[in-house]
Structure 1
Amino acid sequence: MLPPSIVQKIRDRHGGCCVSTRCEEGNCRIKLPRPAETWVCLSGTKLQENHGLGGQKLCDFIFWMEKGAAFLGCAIELKGGGSNISHVAKQIQHGATLLDQMVGDLDFSFHPVLVHAGMKTIELRELDKIKIKRRGKAYRIELIRCGEDLLAQKGLSAFR
């Protein structure tokens, strides 16, 4: 018998408390891939409530997916209205830290994601200056419009 996958281990650990079948907050959502057996999405709010992660604002969702031997981890923040960019960056940064804590030294493709309904030019300029740090590397926050398919994005399409 094969050992359980990373996605299955995360689902087993958090299935009763934090797993979400949708990635939506207020009037903003993104489409998640099918079939659902290859991924798990965790609610940041439920993770904070159920696992004593208070004190640090966490991103809205932590998304894990596996395809063969490749793993994808996303820290996802959804904003249907105006955004405080530095606050969004802190939430995503805390999500990036949590992703690493969940799987230790497992190598995975990391993507910090902001899902938005529309952004002002000044917000885009501010966002361009901010990087999410993970394992000594700086990542730009990737933008996705509300309602779009998560894996249709350029950097994520390899997991389709």
Structure 2
Amino acid sequence: MTKKVLAYITRHHQGTRQLLVYKLPHAPLQECHIPGGPLEFGEREEEALYRTIEDASGLIHLQFIQKLAVFSYYNGSYSNSQEYHTFQVESLEKPLDSWKHVLDGFEDFEDSVEVELFWIPLCQAKTLLQEIPARALDHLFDAEREDA
């Protein structure tokens, strides 16, 4: 089983909670991603979390909020099942509303790929995220309700 992390990076902006997502070049809006990736050999989950956030977005000043959930996923395109550890972190930086960032060695791309990062209202996340990241959103929404 391959262990992976997913980072739900949130911020409060103009009275609403937002989630950081990114889009690959030429992908439709409905195929947004969030930072994440596999643990490297000997790496702890939280180490992988911060490494993948920096790799995917350039953000380094973050506040750990909570671990959301752990779930397994198997689909025929993977040689084994994937175990996802999902976390919520808050950006302590004041990033732009959108920016471009270069990912090195991303998934099936051999070369670097430039992605566009942007914030979406949390309430729109289920319709814009791919299937795997959308799975832990209920835990994030539950945490939001508890904070209210």
Please give the TM-score of this superposition, normalised by the length of structure 1: 0.27
Q: For CA contacts below 8 A with separation 6 or more, give which structure has more relative contact order.
A: 2
Please give the TM-score of this superposition, normalised by the length of structure 2: 0.28
Going by fraction, where is helix more abundant, 1 or 2? 1
Going by fraction, where is strand more abundant, 1 or 2? 2
